[in-house]
Structure 1
Amino acid sequence: MADSDIRVVSAIDFGTTYSGYAYAHKATPNEIFANTDWQEYEGRFKTPTVLKYDDNFKLENWGAPALTERPKKKGKNTSKKPVELFKLHLGSAEKKPTLPSGLDYKTAITDYLRELTKSLKSTLENRWPMVDFYSQVCIIITIPAEFDATAMATMRTCAQKAGLIQQKDSPNLLFTTEPEAAAIHCMKALKEHDLGVGDTFMVVDCGGGTVDLTTRKLLTGKKLSEITEREGDYCGGSYVDQEFLKFLGRKVGSSAIDLVKQNHYGQLQYMVQEFCRKIKIPFTGDEAEFKPVELDLEDVCPVLQQYVRGQAKEEMEDAEWLVNIEFEDVKSMFDPVVGKIIRLIHNQLNKSEEDCSVMFLVGGFSESKYLQTRIRQEFNSIVRNIPVPPNPIVAIVKGAVQFGLTQEVIEDRVLKWTYGTRIARDWTPDDPPERKSGKHIIIFERLGKKGERVAVDQKVLRIFAPTSIIQEYASLDLYVTTKDDAKFCDEPDVNMLDTFNFHIPITGDEMRPILYVMKFGMVEIQTTAVNVATGEKYEKTFEFDI
C-alpha cells in the first residue's frame, strides 16, 4: 500500500457487546466522524454485536434489529437464534460463551463483519463518492491487548470473506490494540490535565468483554513511548451480566438457566437486556439512592417456568414468579468484576518505575458510576487525576483513526512475547546428547525478548548460512513464547508463529551467507532475507503479536 494512494482512514471497533466505526479524510484529519446511523438504532455511537438467524442459519438481521423482542406469553416466539459474545471465542477466556449448535464462531464473525462492511462502504460512498474503497481506504481494526497472532490471522480471514478486504494479506488492513488507540485519543486531553513532556499516564479501557491497560509517556513531538508491557483480562461489563445469571440460577436452579440458554436463547438475552436497562446501568453503589427492583419472570422470560423443578419451583410459585433484587445483590454482581479490574490496575502501576499522573477511564463499561467510584476510592491517593473523557465509548475507534492518519505518533512498544527462530549450529559437549543430529543441534535463537522496549521500525540483523553446500532452500521459522530463556523450539509454551521459505541457488560457495533483517513495524514484523552473494531479496510480513 503506497501511503500516497490512501485518501480515507476508517477504524472498526469490533467489540464484544457493541461495535462501531469512525472515519476521516486525510485532507481534513481533524474531522473524525463516528457513525451514528444504525438502522433502527440511530443517534447512538455503536450498535449491538448481535446476530439473528433463522432455523437454517440464514442471517435474518444484525445489530439492534437482531435484539430479541419481548417474549410472547402465548403463541410462537420467532426469534430463536440471536447470537452474541462470539468475539470471546477469539481469545483465551476460560469459559467461552455458548453458541447455537451448528454455528461456528468464525461464521458469526464473518457474517457480522459483512454487514458492518456494507454499512461502512455505503457511508463512505455517500460522503466521498470518488474514493475507491479497496485501493484508497485504509482500515484499522482494534484488538484487545490479550489477542495473539492466531486471533489476528482469524480476523484477517474473516475480514476477507466478509468483503472488507480483497486479499487476506492486504496492506490496507492494519491492527492496533484497543489500549493503544485509546491512549492516542487521550493525548488530546493531556494539556487539559497539566501533563507535559516526560509525564506518564495510564489508559484503562473497560469494554464489554475485555479490560485492557497501557501506560505511556509523553515525548517531544507529540509522540508516545510505552513504558510497561500492556496487559488485560476478561472482566468487562458482560461479566456483570453473567453474575446476574448466576444470581438468578440460585433462585430457580442453574440447570433451568442452562436449558433456557440452550433452547430459548432469545428469551434469555431479552431478560439480560432488561437487567442492564433497569439495574446494571443505573447502579451507582450508593445504597441511599437505590430502590429494590422486582423482576417479573413471567414477563421477561416466561419460558423459564417450564424448566424449574422441585423446591425451587414451589418457592417461585409462592412468590408468583417475582424475584426481588436488593442493593447487596447488585453489588455482589459487580464486585467480582470490579475487583479484577482493580487488581489489573495495581499490577500495571507496580510494573512502572515512574509515577502515573493521570489515569483515563475509557470504553463502554467505564460509564458505570459504580466502577468509577470504586476505582477513584482505590487510587485517588496514588494517581492525582482519574478522568472519564467525553463519550468514552468512542475513544478507541476515534483513536484508531488518529493512529491510521499519523502512525508516527507511536515511538516504541514493549514486546509482549519473546521472539526467536530455529537454527542449526555445531553441537558441543555441553549440549544434550539426545538432541545431537550429526555434527549439529537445532536450537531456539532469540531475536527479541519479552518485556524489551523496541523502537518502531527497529531492525534486528542476523547472518545465517546453509549447513550444506547442496542445500537449495532456506527458511526462517518465527516462534513466540512467554519465556525469557527458551533453548529449543519444541519446549512447552514455544509456538510457531509463521514460516518464511525461499530458494538459495547453489554456487559452489560453501558459506552462501544469508542476511536476515527483521523490522518491528507498527503492527507487524517485516522480514527481509538478502542473499549476500547475489544481492537478491526476499520479503515476508508476519502477523505481529502486539
Structure 2
Amino acid sequence: MQLHLRKDVSESMKIFDIRGGSLPAIEVFSTAIRALKDHALKHIERGGGHIKLEDIKWVLTVPAIWSDKAKTFMRLSTEKAGISGDRLGIALEPEAASIYCQHVYRKMDEECGAISGPIIVKQGASYLVVDIGGGTLDITAHQKEIQNKVRELCRPLGAAYGGTAVDRAFMEIFEKIVGPTVIETLKKEYTSCYFDLVRGFEILKRKIGNRKSSRPKINFQIPVAALDTLCKRFLEKSFTQTLADSEYKDSLTLSSDKLQMDKQIVIDLFKNTTEHIIEEIQMTLRQTEPSDVTHFLLVGGFSESDIVQNALKEAFPDKEIIIPDDPTLAVVRGAVLFGHTPDFVSSRFTRYAYGRRIRPLFDESKHDKKRSFKTNGLFRCKDVFECFMKKNTFCSVGTVCKCQYHTFEDLQKKITIAVYVSDNDDTKYVDEDGCEKLGELVVDIPNPSKERRYVDVEYHFGGTELTVTARVKGTDEELKAGFQLI
C-alpha cells in the first residue's frame, strides 16, 4: 500500500516496519518476489520438469488503480529478483479476475451445453469487476466485444478500502481501551503478540456475517499476558481492570485468554468500509453511462465476507452479483490465463495526461516572465509541459505517440528523456501541483559526432503499462528503453 499512498515512489525510497525500523523498499519487494520465484522453481524441479528460468513467462499482478510509478517500481523489483524484463508481464488484478471468470463460465458452456449463471460472456454485455482485497478496492468496468476480447468502459477507480480498513477500525477500539502507548509498545516489544492479536481478528472477520445466530457474543484469542504487563507498566492497573473501566465494559468481556465481543460491534466495524465501497461503485457506474451494466463480478479475499456481499446486494438490488467458487484465487488463476492472452483487454483509458519538458522560444503572451532565460542569443522558457497524450483518452492496445528529440552538445553520447504525468490536461509547467516526473529513460547515441543527432521515440499506450521504444535516426536498431525512477 505504500506504493499507492506515497508520492515519493523511487528506487531509493524506504519503508518502515511496525517497530520503526527501515529498509530500502526495493530490497523488501525484490526479496519477497525472489522467494516466490525460487519456490515455484523448486516445485517444477520436483515434478521432474526440465524447464529453465529463461523458458518461463512470469506474470506479476498489481492493482489497476496503482500509478505508473508504482507499476514501474514493481517491474524493477522483479528484475532485481532475477526475472528478466523481457520474460515479465504486468497484469492488472481486476482484469485477471475477469479473464478467469469468463474462462470458467465458457468451460461450463462447453461441458454442460448451457450457461447456468451469468450472461456476461454475451457480446455487448457490460459488467463491473469489483476486486476487494486486503489493502485495496479495485473497480474496472468492461464490455464484452468478441470471443476473448473486452474493452474498458472507463478508467479504473478504487481506494484503500480493503479488509485492512476493518482491521484498523478494530485496532482503534483497542487503542481507546488501553491507549496508544500500550499499542505502540506491543508492536515494538511484543511483536509476535501483536500479530497474534491481528491474526485472531482476521480469522474472526472472515467468519462473521449477518446470518441469524442464537449466540449474541463471539470469542477470539488475544495476547492477555502481554497486554496485562503493559497496562500495569503504563496505566498502573491490570488489563482486566482497564477493560472494566473503558466505554466498552458492557460489550467486551474477558474469559481466560479469550475476548468475548458483542456480535453487533464487529458488524458495525464493517460499516464505514462497506459505505465507501458502495460509493466507489456508484461513481464507476456514473462514468460508464450510458452503458447498461447488468452484472458485478466480486473477487478478492475480502469479498468472501457475508457482510460485504449483503451490503452490495442491498445497495444494488437490480444488479446480478456473481462470486466465483474461490474469489481469493480468481486473480492469480486469471494471471496465468493473462500470460497466454495478454491482449484480452483490447483497449483502455489513460489515467493521466502524459507529456515532456521542453524549452520553447519565450512568448510573452503565453509564458511566465520569471521562467525566461537566455541561451545561444535566444530567450527561451524553461520547464514547459508539452502534452502528447491527454487524460481519459480511449486507447486501443498498441496506440503510439511519436516524439522527436535531439542532441545539444558536440559528441554527445546519451540523450536523457524525462516523462511527466499530470492530473490536468491544461498543465503549463512541470512543477505545477498535480504534475510529477514519472521517470527518465536514457538513449545511447552510437558513433557520437559534432552534428546534431535526432532520436525518434514512440510511446505505446493501451497496455497495462506504458512502454517506450527509441530509434536514433540514421540507424536501423530499435531500442526498448527502460524507465529509471528518479
Q: Which of 365, 375, 395 is 1:454 aligned to? A: 395
Structure 2 vs 1, CA of residues 100 and 256 (structure 1 numbering), >3 Å: closer, same or farther? closer
Q: Say if 1:149 and 1:543, in contact at 8 Å, map to a contact too.
A: no
Q: Counterparts in 2 of 1:389-408, with a 5 A limit?
A: 389-408=324-343
Mean CA deviation greater in 483-492 or 189-198: 189-198
Deviation, 1:466, is 5.5
Q: Say if 1:502 and 1:538, in contact at 8 Å, map to a contact too.
A: no
* Residue 441 in structure 1 maps to residue 356 in structure 2: no
* Residue 417 in structure 1 maps to residue 417 in structure 2: no
Q: Which of 264, 268, 272 is 1:332 aligned to? A: 268
Counterpart Cα distance in 2 of 1:337 and 1:312: 33
SS in 1 for 2:373: coil
Structure 2 vs 1, CA of residues 283 and 90 (structure 1 numbering), >3 Å: closer, same or farther? same
Q: Which amino acid aligns with 2:131?
A: D
Q: What do the CA deviations read for 1:141-192 (whole angstroms, capped 9, x no partner)?
A: 10112323443344344334444x1x5xx21122111112112222233764
Q: Counterparts in 2 of 1:373-522, with a 5 A limit?
A: 373-381=310-318, 383=319, 385-430=320-365, 431-438=367-374, 439=378, 440-442=380-382, 443-464=384-405, 474-496=415-437, 497-503=439-445, 514-520=455-461, 522=463
Mean CA deviation greater in 144-153 or 176-185: 144-153
Counterpart Cα distance in 2 of 1:454 and 1:433: 37
SS in 1 for 2:208: coil
What corresponds to 1:179 in structure 2? 94
Counterpart Cα distance in 2 of 1:93 and 1:513: 36
Q: Which amino acid aligns with 2:4?
A: G
SS in 1 for 2:95: helix
Q: Which runs of 5+ in 2 are unaligned?
A: 8-14, 107-114
What corresponds to 2:151 in structure 1? 225
What corresponds to 2:35 in structure 1? 115
Counterpart Cα distance in 2 of 1:504 and 1:538: 12
Q: Which of 293, 306, 313 is 1:356 aligned to? A: 293
What corresponds to 1:159 in structure 2? 78
Counterpart Cα distance in 2 of 1:140 and 1:102: 31
Structure 2 vs 1, CA of residues 276 and 469 (structure 1 numbering), >3 Å: closer, same or farther? closer
What corresponds to 1:67 in structure 2? none
Deviation, 1:285, is 2.0
Q: Which amino acid aligns with 1:123?
A: H
Deviation, 1:324, is 3.5
Q: Which amino acid aligns with 1:433?
A: K
Structure 2 vs 1, CA of residues 402 and 371 (structure 1 numbering), >3 Å: closer, same or farther? same
Counterpart Cα distance in 2 of 1:290 and 1:229: 44
Deviation, 1:528, is 3.1
What corresponds to 1:89 in structure 2? 2
Counterpart Cα distance in 2 of 1:516 and 1:106: 28
Q: Say if 1:500 and 1:540, in contact at 8 Å, map to a contact too.
A: no
Q: Say if 1:418 and 1:480, in contact at 8 Å, map to a contact too.
A: yes
Counterpart Cα distance in 1 of 2:410 and 2:262: 78
Q: Which amino acid aligns with 1:351?
A: Q
User: What percent identity do the matched residue pairs reach?
Assistant: 24
SS in 2 for 1:193: coil
Counterpart Cα distance in 2 of 1:145 and 1:241: 23
Counterpart Cα distance in 2 of 1:293 and 1:446: 57
Q: Count residues in correspondence.
A: 445
Structure 2 vs 1, CA of residues 193 and 482 (structure 1 numbering), >3 Å: closer, same or farther? same
What corresponds to 1:347 in structure 2? 283
Deviation, 1:452, is 1.0
SS in 1 for 2:457: strand
Counterpart Cα distance in 2 of 1:524 and 1:399: 18
* Residue 266 in structure 1 maps to residue 206 in structure 2: no
Q: Structure 2 length normalisation: TM-score?
A: 0.82
How big is the alpha-carbon RMSD for the aligned residues of Structure 1 and Structure 2? 3.0
Q: Which amino acid aligns with 2:216?
A: K
Structure 2 vs 1, CA of residues 112 and 466 (structure 1 numbering), >3 Å: closer, same or farther? closer
Counterpart Cα distance in 1 of 2:219 and 2:431: 57
Moved over 6 A (4+): 317-320, 467-472, 504-510
What corresponds to 2:470 in structure 1? 529
What corresponds to 1:285 in structure 2? 210
What corresponds to 1:124 in structure 2? 44
Mean CA deviation greater in 444-453 or 248-257: 248-257
Mean CA deviation greater in 349-358 or 498-507: 498-507
Deviation, 1:101, is 3.9
Q: Which runs of 5+ in 1 are unaligned?
A: 1-87
Mean CA deviation greater in 491-500 or 116-125: 491-500
